[in-house]
Structure 1
Amino acid sequence: MKKWLSSIGPGTLVTAAFIGPGTVTVCTLAGVQFGFTLLWALALSIIACMVLQEMSARLGVVTQNGLSEVLTSQFENKIVRFVLVALVISAIFIGNAAYEAGNISGGVLGLSTIIDTPNVNVGGLTINYVSVIIGFFAFLILYMGSYKILERSLVLIVLCMSIAFIVTAIVTKPDLAMVIKGFVPHIESDKLFMVIGLIGTTVVPYNLFLHASLVKEKWNTPEELPLAQRDTIIAIAIGGLMSMAIIIAGAAIQNIEVNSAADLAKSLEPVFGAGAKYVLSLGLFAAGITSAITAPLATAYVVKGCMGWQGGLKSKKFRAVWMFILLLGVVFSSLGIKPIEIIQFAQVANGLLLPIIAGFLLWVMNKKKLLGRYTNSRIQNVIGIIILLVTIFLGARSIWKVILNL
């Protein structure tokens, strides 16, 4: 058991990053609106996530560089490199600053079904003190600057989150035959946007940067690559199980209007008892905390790699980046500010970034000068191209959605 636990690492942080309030909400709505019928779409999303994250981890272990360092090193043309760096930093920096408020607010939402009024008046301002507590907790873990502390903290929270969501799904006593039937692909026009939503919340651009940077904190030689690959597959599979459990729990709710995971928690109480409400609420709270930690961390790694900064988790520049992202998230969340224009920009930037980064990753994973015998196999390339086409579609949809809302 001790040996197994020692092999757990960066994959868990990736799971902690993509199982955030957004994923919980999308999976909840998928279950409420369509029952078990979209489990197949989520399963495909998890496979796509595994493929891309494995490439990212392999790149980090073999080259001992993060994705942003490799990105800047592969283009000699200064203009091309400047445009790419500007796009990556703006998308990740501004995008994560906007989404950090959502992460913290999601954690607050999880407790809103348990705590009635988490607000206090300070100098005429109404402040949600739970947002401040979540921000302070994230600050402490990140400021310690120890990868082991960061890893173990998130492993513990992800474990609690897994238990919360899976127990909630079991409590609803789903029809196993219908659950199995949900893994049979069946596309209908009214389900298309939800399918895209499930993929979009699972395959996250900043996770590709985060993973490549984190693996080299734990593994230093290509011989250790199998450990990184196993860690990736197991961790993302656990994340997939959590997402499926949320869909299953959502499918148990009939004839009740549910718009978020917090609504799901409340609606479970009269049917399955108060325990179900508390368990799911704590799961959503944990999802908010984990994403609130990983989003600033990923931003700092991206900026560090693009700017060529030296030093590790405790360097002043590195800390300044994640502190700024975390501070913005706490301020927006605690004051109830909804940075709609920033979030719209973030959607456009990430819509552009995801296919570009997926395409770059696929290209660089075939460079023998860089990776030697650790380049992609033919099957990996075929799957990668399919995923790339999906990300292009996802990116175009997110941009089009923002244009329509202008």
Structure 2
Amino acid sequence: MSTSTYFERSVSGTKQFVNRYGLGLLFAANIFGAGSVFILSEAGSDFGFALLWVLPLALLAGLAMHEMSARLAAADRPLMIYITDRIGQTAAKPLAIGISFIMQFWSVANYALAGAAFVYISPLSNLYIGTILMAALGIALVELRLYSRIEGVVAALVLAIFGSYLVIVMGLDLPLGDVTTGFVPTLVSEFGYLTMIIALLGTTVYYPNFFIQTSMSGTKDWDVVEKYRRDHTFGMVAVIGLSIAVMVVAAMTIPDGGDITLTAPGEPLADALGPWALDVFIIAAGAASFTSATGTLFGAGFMIPQAYGRKTMFGDRPFRLVVHSLICLSVLFALPLLAFTGFTPVSLAITMPAVNGVIGLPITAIALFAAVNRYFDPSRIEQAGFLLVVIVLFIGSALTAQDLAGTIANYL
């Protein structure tokens, strides 16, 4: 086989892989922003292996939510259009704007983290300028307009991030007994424990992805559930496997109760591979933060035009206008939070998913459940499973709201 033929086949195979799993990798990128790295590291540092059980729960909940979402996507029934049909445009417009406003707090945290990573690896020393530059880069990414281009960029970044942490786990002497015990569900009456549970659920069962998935029929040109199911299952399993790895590494290497700094999750990688690995981690964390900050807002790019009665497409003018506006809003919130409160990029990354988990996630869960029951005829077992997920998410939100308020008050 000639070199040119081999290259052509490699390129063709890569394109097929990205087309088949690229949307799932976009979901993975949204889920596994740098914020997830720090949330998982905080969980492992503060509670050891005790919260590992939340991750399989998050996988099951995420797959159940995506199963509902995939059915809507294959039938080209965007979730926000269903909500608008049910409650009317008068109520849907402020609801879509409100959820999008809450959603952009993920981007507040992730652009701040991307800015911090950029400052760490570059001569620039001003965090605020770094944050603004990352937001400007997000606008530039959206201006690529063609989804296939963005999908390819995101896929490459996500696979590089996954690889960096899998390397270190393979080099660790895992205490299998303690790790196994961590998968047994337990509830601890300790400040921050319940907030961490909903933060893990909120950052893994990532509700913007459902608004994106149900709106992608015209872009992906898939009309069968199996293609969406294969795609999102790949992304979810990869994210949960990586999340388990990050939490285990943190539990074994980061001192109990130690502060989670920008470099803390990467220091074990540097110990295993050499000092250069810390720089690689920071670059990967910055890339993860950037892709998550921007990709998350794609959900709002669909939601708001749909609430106003427009059947928007990925990258069209209304989509870009909404995403660009929210990117700018994210920066306007990030700068004063960093300047005038006790929040740091890392503490923002740990807190903001919980905010979304308490507010946006249960609303999305009940809307998905109602939409699937309206348009389809799920079996009793499916209905029971879907309803159980909705109840768990609602209970989690109710139990953690007060704890979350206390956590935010401490930073303010």
TM-score, normalized by the shorter chain, greater than 0.5: yes
Instruction: Find the counterpart in structure 2 of residue 149 from structure 1.
Output: 149
Corresponding letter in the other structure for 1:396: A
The question of whether the paired residues in 2 share the 8 Å contact of 1:16 and 1:290 is answered with: yes
Alignment partners' CA distance in 2, 1:49 and 1:232: 9
Instruction: Find the counterpart in structure 1 of residue 366 from structure 2.
Output: 359
The question of whether the paired residues in 2 share the 8 Å contact of 1:261 and 1:284 is answered with: no
Instruction: Find the counterpart in structure 1 of residue 97 from structure 2.
Output: 89
Alignment partners' CA distance in 1, 2:331 and 2:269: 30
Any unmatched runs of 5+ in structure 1? 121-126
Structure 1 position 111, deviation (Å): 4.6
Structure 1 position 129, deviation (Å): 3.7
The question of whether the paired residues in 1 share the 8 Å contact of 2:52 and 2:182 is answered with: yes
Any unmatched runs of 5+ in structure 2? 1-12
Alignment partners' CA distance in 1, 2:356 and 2:381: 30
The question of whether the paired residues in 2 share the 8 Å contact of 1:9 and 1:231 is answered with: yes
Q: Does 1:240 align with 2:252?
A: no
- In structure 2, relative to structure 1, the CA distance for the partners of 1:107 and 1:169 (3 Å cut) is farther
* 1:263-298 residue CA offsets vs partner (Å, 9 max, x unmatched): 424643774442442343233212211112212221
The question of whether the paired residues in 2 share the 8 Å contact of 1:113 and 1:262 is answered with: no
The question of whether the paired residues in 2 share the 8 Å contact of 1:100 and 1:295 is answered with: yes
- The size of the alignment, in residue pairs, is 385
Corresponding letter in the other structure for 2:221: W
Percent of aligned positions that are identical: 22
The question of whether the paired residues in 1 share the 8 Å contact of 2:93 and 2:307 is answered with: yes
- Which stretch shows the higher mean deviation, 356-365 or 153-162? 356-365
Alignment partners' CA distance in 2, 1:376 and 1:339: 48
Instruction: Find the counterpart in structure 1 of residue 209 from structure 2.
Output: 207
1:47-58 aligned within 5 A? 47-58=60-71
Which of 83, 86, 109 is the aligned partner of 2:116? Answer: 109
- In structure 2, relative to structure 1, the CA distance for the partners of 1:114 and 1:219 (3 Å cut) is same
Instruction: Find the counterpart in structure 1 of residue 24 from structure 2.
Output: 11
Alignment partners' CA distance in 1, 2:48 and 2:255: 12
Q: Does 1:119 align with 2:133?
A: no
- Which stretch shows the higher mean deviation, 294-303 or 258-267? 258-267
Structure 1 position 338, deviation (Å): 6.4
- In structure 2, relative to structure 1, the CA distance for the partners of 1:270 and 1:73 (3 Å cut) is closer
Q: Does 1:65 align with 2:77?
A: yes
Structure 1 position 237, deviation (Å): 0.7
Corresponding letter in the other structure for 2:59: I
Structure 1 position 305, deviation (Å): 1.2
Structure 1 position 143, deviation (Å): 0.8
The question of whether the paired residues in 2 share the 8 Å contact of 1:20 and 1:290 is answered with: yes
Instruction: Find the counterpart in structure 1 of residue 39 from structure 2.
Output: 26
- In structure 2, relative to structure 1, the CA distance for the partners of 1:84 and 1:32 (3 Å cut) is same
Alignment partners' CA distance in 2, 1:205 and 1:351: 11
- Which stretch shows the higher mean deviation, 266-275 or 50-59? 266-275
3-state DSSP class of the match of 1:184?
Answer: coil
Superposition TM-score, scaled by structure 2 size: 0.82
The question of whether the paired residues in 2 share the 8 Å contact of 1:332 and 1:338 is answered with: no
Alignment partners' CA distance in 2, 1:242 and 1:52: 20
Which of 196, 199, 210 is the aligned partner of 1:197? Answer: 199
Superposition TM-score, scaled by structure 1 size: 0.83
Corresponding letter in the other structure for 1:249: V
Instruction: Find the counterpart in structure 2 of residue 123 from structure 1.
Output: none
Alignment partners' CA distance in 1, 2:135 and 2:368: 32
Structure 1 position 200, deviation (Å): 2.2
- In structure 2, relative to structure 1, the CA distance for the partners of 1:249 and 1:118 (3 Å cut) is farther
What's the RMSD between the two structures over aligned residues? 3.1
